[in-house]
């Protein structure tokens, strides 16, 4: 019989996987805005896609410094079980090898920008080893970003399965 406690913990930690939205190729992301010029919209969209791409690449590479840079200091990841994990805890688990991300395969992304805030919704197949158990999950993340002094930072990510 499987260890249900371990399975529950693994399930609760899967939500952190969705804090890594990946950008699609140029021109494939629908973007909506409220009251901004097209040039500003395009500049913000490009900057957001860059941050999301850096985040995804850093997860797969296990690059804690880049993750620390793209995540807001108060970042949290809400897992599929509802567990809300603080940034420092998640980064420590990646650094220790508890989480080992092998790949993130985007299945679709949308970005909405409203002034200095943005929301990215992404579906992806995520291949990860968690505490020695490897699997691929179909996850959807809703990621909130904020522009602080001209730099987009990831504030929160909420994960669900699809």
Longest dimension (CA), the chain: 59
The CATH class of 4-161 is alpha beta
Q: Which residues of the chain have pLDDT under 50?
A: 1-33
How high is the pLDDT of residue 80? 79
How high is the pLDDT of residue 158? 95
CB 33 within 8 A of CB 114: yes
Ramachandran category for residue 72: left, alpha or beta (phi over 0 → left; psi -120 to 50 → alpha): beta
Domains of the chain, by residue range, sit at: 4-161
CB 102 within 8 A of CB 127: yes
Q: Residues 114, 152, 162, 109: what is their CA dihedral angle, to the nearest 10 degrees?
A: 70
User: Mean of the per-residue pLDDT values for the chain?
Assistant: 82
How high is the pLDDT of residue 35? 52
Pick the closest to residue 157 from 100, 103, 76 (CA basis): 76
Phi first, then psi, for residue 111 (nearest 5°) are -130, 130
């Amino acid at each position: 019989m499987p260890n249900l406690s371990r399975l529950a913990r693994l399930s609760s930690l899967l939500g952190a996987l969705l804090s890594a939205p990946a950008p699609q190729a140029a021109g494939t992301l629908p973007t909506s805005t409220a009251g901004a010029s097209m040039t500003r919209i395009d500049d913000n969209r490009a900057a957001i896609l860059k941050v999301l791409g850096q985040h995804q690449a850093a997860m797969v590479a296990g690059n804690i410094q880049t993750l620390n840079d793209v995540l807001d200091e108060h970042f949290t990841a809400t897992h599929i079980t509802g567990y809300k994990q603080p940034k420092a805890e998640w980064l420590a688990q990646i650094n220790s090898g508890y989480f080992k991300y092998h790949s993130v395969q985007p299945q679709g992304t949308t970005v909405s920008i409203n002034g200095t805030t943005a929301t990215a919704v992404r579906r992806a197949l995520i291949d990860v080893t968690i505490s020695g158990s490897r699997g691929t999950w179909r996850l959807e993340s809703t990621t909130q970003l904020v522009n602080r002094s001209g730099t987009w930072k990831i504030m929160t990510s909420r994960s669900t399965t699809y």
